Structure 1
Amino acid sequence: MKFTTLIVFMFLITVPVWAQLSSYDYVVSQDGSGDFVTVQEALDAVPDIRNHVTRILIKNGIYKEKLVLSGSKTNVFLIGEDKMRTVLTHDDYADKLNQFGERIGTSGSSSFYIYGDGFRAQNITFENSSGPVGQAVAVRVDADQVVFDNCRFLGFQDTLYPHGKNSRQYYRQCYIEGTTDFIFGWSTAVFEDCEIFSKKGGQYITAASTEQGQSFGFVFLNCHLTGDAPSGTVYLGRPWRDYAKTVYVNCEMDQHIHSQGWHNWGKTHAETTAYYAEYQSTGIGANTNNRANWTHQLTDAQAKDYELTKIFDGWNPNEEKSVEP
């Protein structure tokens, strides 16, 4: 290998992924050095129904904006400069009143609404900064074929809302925190190699509302369940809707996980309709001796169904077909 080739190779493996991209379509910077100073301006500038990826670099800063990516803005790729210092945040909450004196509700509280298919985000923090004031969503996702890579989701109750009923979403090496039902909704969503952090004051990680007949709901693969909630106080999930589906595969569960694992939300009939399962998880919280008797432990054969292309009905987010080199 020539010396110059070696230098280039070493550079490519040591710099962040965003810096390896040859160009960006837009740059957002609060100091005015980019194309836009706000994220919403950049989202609005994306051509409608674009087949190619629109790359948007967001430079470090705290961007307090209530963001909407419309359904016509397809294949948008947001790249943060540094996930700890590139922060998209807002502070609405469900009980807040709009200009007509009406409660905005859970959906109205979201800091970021994502409707455009093929959306991707990398190295970004998404936040609802309103604090422990009830439902307060950081991100609501309705789009299909969505990928979050190395991102953070910060909030308390109802932090992350995979909302779209026909939406497939993939979260890779992300950090997600909250208190109650902080991952909730209808979508088919896979969380792989993520840290799921349960904050003090909460009791439930997930509240799936999977549609009847839907093959998969929320799937956690090789995740680490951490938190500062008291020992044995946090349930893996409860059924927001009767046919909720949530499965944990090869996850590490710390001591905050309740020995029963799962809660029926006071709906005994949901015990026969919801599907909650685990497979070969480890850690103090993974002990299955006292798990709720209406939940499941997967067999080796059943666990083979929890592969990305099967879960996502043929879509493989790791192929990154919509992202050009």
Structure 2
Amino acid sequence: MAELERKTLVVDESGRGDYRTLTEAVAACAETPELPVRFYIKHGIYEERPFIELADYIIEGEYRNATVITASVGGRDPWPGEAKTGTFRSETLFLGGGKAVVRNLTIQNNAGDGAKAGQALAVYADASRVLMEDVNLYGNQDTLFTAPLPLQEREKNGFRGPRENAPRLDTTQYYRCCTIRGNIDFIFGGANAVFDSCRIEPWHHKTGICYITAPSTPAGKPGYLFVDCTVAGNCAPGSVYLGRPWRADAACYWLDCSLSEEVCAGGWDNWHDPENEKTARFGEYGSTGPGSAPARAFGSVDSIAEADAQRTMLARLRAEFGLV
């Protein structure tokens, strides 16, 4: 079967493109959501919250640092008829549907300090396959949510949002050469996700504690892999944890990464529950830098043995995403 031709829609806030906003361009595809499309976004500041449910789409910016999609919505903001917006309605950009590719732009949520604004997503990544390359993701608490949601919420209406009542479907996600910035659980969720050659920036928490990841990996799934990444932000030495388990079977592995002195000696936190140490699968191998600890592990992981399995999975996913 011949591949469908991909149309390109140009987004330009100056009015010299097909549409002035990405939201308008996406709406123009509503009657043909199955057709592949490319959204090319000219440089500019786009204050909007695009929500995308298409089968196969590419979002590409003109300049990585000068094409910016931005919003300022926090989980504690009011919501019509309800007390608050909540985490999963706060996103700047929602990626749903089938295959989503995002390249060469910046996506941010400027709601501010999570202690005041609450959780504030830059991206809610829920497409079945997500590829991001050369993208900046900036936020504070909960910058990047990698779907699916856990099966059960811990507080009433805690999952209020577009997928609260939807089946929990696996997603496969790949982030390459991206910069991801935040402070509390700023990469979290149940996806099978690779972060390849990314810069991870713990940010704006010099006197407090920072948690980079909070996976909620379903039992038996691979979870997160960070490979050839750099952790370097502006936090105090010893104040940053590589991760903590949002759910008991959380999985996260760091392979051949460079870790600054910001990373604490223990590396991992059990989220105030020692029982998580029996089931979570957190490991590290081949790290360098003052924050590294060779073969550091947490939970049911043999860190050295796991390294080979992670390299095998990495090779398979690179091939699947055409990155070899």
Give the TM-score normalised by structure 1: 0.84
Judge conservation of contact 1:223–1:252 (CA < 8 Å) in 2. Answer: yes
Judge conservation of contact 2:180–2:201 (CA < 8 Å) in 1. Answer: yes
1:315 Cα shift?
A: 6.4
Matched, 1:170 2:170: no
Matched, 1:82 2:63: yes
1:149-164 equivalent positions in 2, closer than 5 A: 149-164=133-148
1:105 Cα shift?
A: 0.5
The alpha-carbon distance between structure 1 residues 90 and 76, as it changes in their structure 2 partners (threshold 3 A), is same
The alpha-carbon distance between structure 1 residues 100 and 26, as it changes in their structure 2 partners (threshold 3 A), is same
The partner residue of 1:61 within 25, 28, 44 is 44
Matched, 1:44 2:50: no
Unpaired segments of 5 or more residues in structure 2?
1-5, 149-168
The alpha-carbon distance between structure 1 residues 98 and 28, as it changes in their structure 2 partners (threshold 3 A), is same
Judge conservation of contact 2:106–2:135 (CA < 8 Å) in 1. Answer: yes
Question: 1: CA distance between counterparts of 2:120 and 2:42?
Answer: 26
Matched, 1:28 2:33: no
**Residue of structure 1 equivalent to 2:264:** 258
1:313 Cα shift?
A: 7.1
The partner residue of 1:181 within 185, 190, 194 is 185
RMSD: 2.2
Judge conservation of contact 1:145–1:317 (CA < 8 Å) in 2. Answer: no
Give the TM-score normalised by structure 2: 0.85
Matched, 1:143 2:150: no
Judge conservation of contact 1:145–1:169 (CA < 8 Å) in 2. Answer: yes
Judge conservation of contact 2:245–2:280 (CA < 8 Å) in 1. Answer: yes
Which has more radius of gyration?
A: 1
Question: 2: CA distance between counterparts of 1:314 and 1:225?
Answer: 22
Judge conservation of contact 2:87–2:120 (CA < 8 Å) in 1. Answer: yes
SS in 1 for 2:70: strand
- In the TM superposition, what whole-angstrom CA distance separates every residue of 1:129-168 from its partner, at most 9, and x where no partner exists? 1111221110001111110000000000000000124000
Matched, 1:107 2:111: no
1:318 Cα shift?
A: 2.4
Larger deviation, residues 234-243 vs 127-136 = 127-136
Unpaired segments of 5 or more residues in structure 1?
1-22, 321-325
**Residue of structure 1 equivalent to 2:154:** none
* Larger strand proportion of the pair: 2
Amino acid at match of 1:172: R
Question: 1: CA distance between counterparts of 2:124 and 2:210?
Answer: 21
How many residue pairs match? The answer is 292
1:1-325 equivalent positions in 2, closer than 5 A: 25-46=8-29, 48-50=32-34, 53-70=36-53, 73-132=54-113, 133-164=117-148, 165-201=169-205, 202-214=209-221, 216-288=222-294, 294=299, 296=301, 298-299=303-304, 302-307=306-311, 316-318=320-322
